[in-house]
Amino acid sequence: MDIILEGIRKAFILLFTFDPEVLGITWFSLKVSGTATFISLFIGMSVGTVVALTQFPGRRFVVSLINTGMALPPVVVGLFVTIFLWRNGPLGFMEILYTPAAMIIAQAIIATPIVTGISLAAMQQLPKKLRLQILALGATRLQMVRILIREARLPLLAAVMAGFGGVISEVGASIMVGGNIKGYTRVLTTATVMETSRGNFDIAIALGIILLILAYMINLVLTQIQQRERPR
Amino acid sequence: MTIADSILEARNLKVIRGGSLLVDVPALKIREGETLSLIGPNGAGKTTLLQALSFLMRPSAGDILFRGEKVGAEYATLEYRRKLAMVFQEPLLFDTTVFENVASGLKIRGLGTGMVKQVVNEQLNRFGIGHLGDRSARTLSGGEAQRTSLARAFAIKPEILFLDEPFASLDPPTREAIIVDLEKAIAETGTTTAIATHDRNEALRLSDRIAMMDGGKIVQIGSPSDVMNRPVDEGVAAFVGIETILRGRVREKHAGSILVDVNGKEIEVVADADAGTDVTLCIRPENVTLSLSPPASVISARNIFPGRVSRITPLGLVVKVEIACGFPLVAYVTGNAAEDLNLREGKEVTALFKATAIHVCQKISR
């Protein structure tokens, strides 16, 4: 019990004295996961919107693929990204394994299906007739898509949050393709794993608290969105 | 451009979805400035026809002509859509303020803010929601939301307004108030309107013409009194509220009237049909009078049948009385009359109706 209390006490000291190492790791984590989420947003929202608004043969299959992708195990993504970026792998010439770029790629692959799936659902939950109403108001196809995205903005924000939440808390792929190099590819989760294995519970708890705060903020926003009503 | 007598015309219009023919309208003309109602039971094809006419749903075959020009060919689809407005049963408002909702059609057309503001305020006031401009559409009641939807439609000054069951989800007082405002708006702007409704009373008060639909086809089109009082067949008759529909055969033909045999009873009808023809007689319940005893002296009603009350159903303002008098007959009497006559099931009464109060359809069934 003492270990935990002592750990928590030291953790708060680290947090409130703005320990440079803790701060650096946090900032780097936000940068990597933020960039990965941004990339996934671009791909996921486009694909999600197109799949939601069009009918084509094999659509069900594509939707089930996206939904499966939402539960993609990060270690599997890590494994394949590692193989592809390995020195003599297909993309080995790029020489980016164990760099932040490799982490961003892996995290973007994890986040994209999540963002796609939630965007798809967000666009589909809009009333079907809303599209007709927008067209009847004289909109072009492009104007219609813009208005639909604006109408689904809150659930789409949920997609962003879920994507970000998925990658900021992910450890498997980051450690595999990033290598947890101090000051270079070390993020909140990989650092927590390492510090715990070393018995440095104070730092591990401090990092854990930061992760919890991030998770809490994400869920706070998601809950707000869920509780909102749609107009008639 | 040819000079058209109608603002909108459908020719050989067919909508086929999933192998079934949803709409089959060989010819329909909507006149400039008129209000046309499409009535009919659920699934009759009213909504589909409105969507095909507005080109929100591409017809499987046939043409839509707007002021004589073919939509989708001579007349661009987008251009056409910008001439019309549509209001659905659900208000389908955007997740923003009431003002922005009403402004949306104008903004889509790229109008300047000053112009938008003026038009929107005008429409907000027209539909009695001027005080709600800054409110979020999420907080509106059903009636306020539908008013916003109507204001949004009128804001773009449509040349044709399509209304698809616009009042079906509203409670009666709200509906009544909105219909009054809509009637006024249509009259003031002279907007050509096509409205789909399953409520014949709504159609009666709003329309210049009524088109009765069934099975994707227009089975009758005409003035409200035409469709209400002279239905072409039993299906229309039943839909427009004619409670007594009797099949019979013309026994004798006189000058100006015929004698029709219904279940062995003779009914005199002012109509023209040859003896031996099978006909359907339609008698509106409000045209049947009830009396406790047969009339003491000669009266003008040609049809007098003693019978027994088989069922009494209160309908609010009137009481529906079903009488067995050799054939089933329905009469509407006021609540007071029902009390004075002390009507109850099994009581003997005499039913009277005039020979002119009966409409004859020669087409027995379709």
Interface of B with A in 112-151 (CB under 8 A): 136-138, 140, 142, 145
What percent of chain A has a predicted confidence (pLDDT) above 70? 100
Retrieve residue B121's tokens. Answer: 């305020």
| Residue A221: predicted pLDDT | 81
| Residue B364: predicted pLDDT | 52
Contacts of A147 in chain B (CB under 8 A): 94, 104
DSSP state of A176: H
Q: What is the distance, to the nearest Å, from the Cα of residue A201 to the centroid of all Cα atoms in its chain?
A: 26
Cβ–Cβ gap B86/A133 under 8 Å:
yes
Cβ–Cβ gap B51/A127 under 8 Å:
no
Mean pLDDT of B336-345: 91
Query: SS3 for B321?
Result: strand
Query: Which of B362, B331, B360, B358 lies closest to B347, judged by CA?
Result: B331
Cβ–Cβ gap A137/B94 under 8 Å:
no
Flag whether pLDDT at B1 surpasses 50. Answer: no
What ipTM was estimated for this complex? Answer: 0.86
Retrieve residue B167's tokens. Answer: 């009042």
Flag whether pLDDT at A13 surpasses 90. Answer: no
Flag whether pLDDT at A141 surpasses 60. Answer: yes
pLDDT interval class at B73 (50, 70, 90)? confident
Chain A interface, mutation test: which of B94, B140, B157, B163, most A Cβ atoms within 10 Å? B94
For A153, the closest chain B residue by CA position comes to B95
What is the C-alpha separation between B269 and B362, in angstroms, rounded? 13
Q: From the CA of A54, how many Å to the nearest CA of chain B?
A: 15
Pairing of strands B217-222, B244-253: unpaired
pTM of the model as a whole: 0.85
pLDDT interval class at B3 (50, 70, 90)? very low
Flag whether pLDDT at A186 surpasses 90. Answer: yes
DSSP state of B275: T
pLDDT interval class at B2 (50, 70, 90)? very low
Question: Among A9-23, B187-201, B295-309, which range has the highest average pLDDT?
Answer: B187-201
Mean pLDDT of A122-139: 94
Average pLDDT, chain B: 92
Flag whether pLDDT at B266 surpasses 70. Answer: yes
Q: From the CA of A230, how many Å to the nearest CA of chain B?
A: 6
Mean pLDDT of B199-206: 89
Cβ–Cβ gap A132/B145 under 8 Å:
no
Contacts of B105 in chain A (CB under 8 A): 137-138
pLDDT, tens only, B278-292: 999 999 999 999 999
pLDDT interval class at A232 (50, 70, 90)? confident
Length of chain B, please?
A: 366
Interface of B with A in 220-249 (CB under 8 A): none
Mean pLDDT of B233-248: 91
Sign of the CA dihedral B182, B185, B187, B189? negative
| Residue B366: predicted pLDDT | 42
pLDDT, tens only, B311-331: 999 998 899 999 999 999 999
